[in-house]
Amino acid sequence: MKRMQVPEGEMMCGNRSDISRRDFLAMSALVAAGLAIAPLSWGASPIYSNKIKENNSMKTRKLGTLEVSEIGLGCMNMAGNYNPPADHQQSIATIRKAFENGITFFDTAEVYGPYIDETLVGEALQPFRDQVKIATKFGFAIDGTVALDSRPERIKRVVEESLKRLRTDHIDLYYQHRVDPNVPIEEVAGTIKELIQQGKVLHFGLSEASVKTIRRAHAVQAVTAVQSEYSLWTRNVELNGVLKTCEELGIGFVPWSPVGAGFLTGKYDTTTKYDEKSDFRAGFPRYSKEFLPLNMPIIEWLKDYAAKKNATPSQIALAWLMAKSPSIVPIPGTRTETHLLENLGAQNIHLTKDDVQAMDTSLSKFPVYGDRMGEAHMSSIDYTF
């Protein structure tokens, strides 16, 4: 089976350009051909004092009424969506190492692989399934394109398939992966409400949804969490009302790509090469030869700030998110235990409100150049900035 690349992301600023469904599907056909983002050479991990001590207990946070670890684990990359698939046993070991170190919140989706990632997560978590929370997603047609399909009959079918792959009788948090413009959100929320009544799903989530969609869905079935891209250099949700609405309605927020698809790790520079045939970032404006050099001052500032805190850039990026709100739970993705433990060191960094305000003031001096993803990939986002 061919791998499907599922683009996730949104623009930092500016209005989305209109794009026809035909053009979108044309780009999606490339996805069906198995394009995936190639790995970069990470090199040796830096020395840092905030590396998590193994078996360290972790604090918890609430996403609505769902209690999870304050840092989760995004498992998408293990299935090869942004790299060739990771070694199966290595992935199992990384997921279980995460659990050993206090992570109880694991994020996947049926379209990652497709299907491979749910199967992997189900196998890895089976020995301690009752001690963790699993989030997965529905909504892509998985038909060789990245077309959307949230028809109630499809949701009822694919939830059964996800349950089997995850080796469980319930899904803790079930997200609509992208808002389907052809299916009223009230129908989607009503379908999830039925699944909750049946005990197959415990909580309802939305991904990349607008304020209007969130409110309409929440009126039918309480939304527990909203997942969107959010990081030091992708802050749309601060501007478009999504974060404010989640706070108002008591909905948790889950930032995906919290370290900017690797950019905020400090391990990228203008010499980084993106393979046009295998790496989607080669076509994303932010990573272009034109804009990447203009964005480097952000990472240089972050490196300097992290050094002053005796931390790594990744840890500061995650700590900043957690300091923004107690209802924010980032889900950094990783394929190795080394990077996992580095990310978990973020819980040892405590940024005050004054720290965050000072950081935001400094960051305001560095505009972000270029959209986060290309127009075709942005066409499935439910809002315009």
Tell me, yes or no, whether 46 lies in a domain: no
Q: Is residue 382 scored above 80 in pLDDT?
A: yes
Alpha carbons 372 and 75: distance in angstroms, whole number: 21
Structural element, H or E, at residue 228 = strand 223-229
Report which of 81, 142, 131 is spatially closest to residue 108, judged by C-alpha positions.
81
Tell me, yes or no, whether 10 lies in a domain: no
The predicted-structure confidence for 52-78, as pLDDT tens digits, reads as follows: 445 557 999 999 999 999 999 999 989
Tell me, yes or no, whether 5 lies in a domain: no
pTM: 0.85
Tell me, yes or no, whether 106 lies in a domain: yes
CATH number, domain with residue 138: 3.20.20.100
Residue in 112, 175, 274, 287 annotated catalytic: 112
Tell me, yes or no, whether 354 lies in a domain: yes
Residue 190, domain extent: 21-37+54-378
Question: Which of 58-72, 78-92, 110-124 has the least mean pLDDT?
Answer: 78-92
Report which of 258, 263, 264 is spatially closest to residue 313, judged by C-alpha positions.
264
Tell me, yes or no, whether 173 lies in a domain: yes
Residue 57: per-residue pLDDT: 78
Tell me, yes or no, whether 48 lies in a domain: no
Q: Is 230 a catalytic residue?
A: no
Tokens for 381, please give them.
């986002």
Using alpha carbons only, give the angle 50, 51, 56 rounded to the nearest 5 degrees.
105
Residue 373: per-residue pLDDT: 73
Number of compact structural domains in the chain: 1
Q: Is residue 48 scored above 70 in pLDDT?
A: no
The predicted-structure confidence for 310-328, as pLDDT tens digits, reads as follows: 999 999 999 999 999 999 9
Tokens 């949804």 -> residue: 209
Report which of 1, 21, 71 is spatially closest to residue 376, judged by C-alpha positions.
21
Residue 46: per-residue pLDDT: 38
Tell me, yes or no, whether 6 lies in a domain: no
Higher pLDDT, 31 or 231: 231
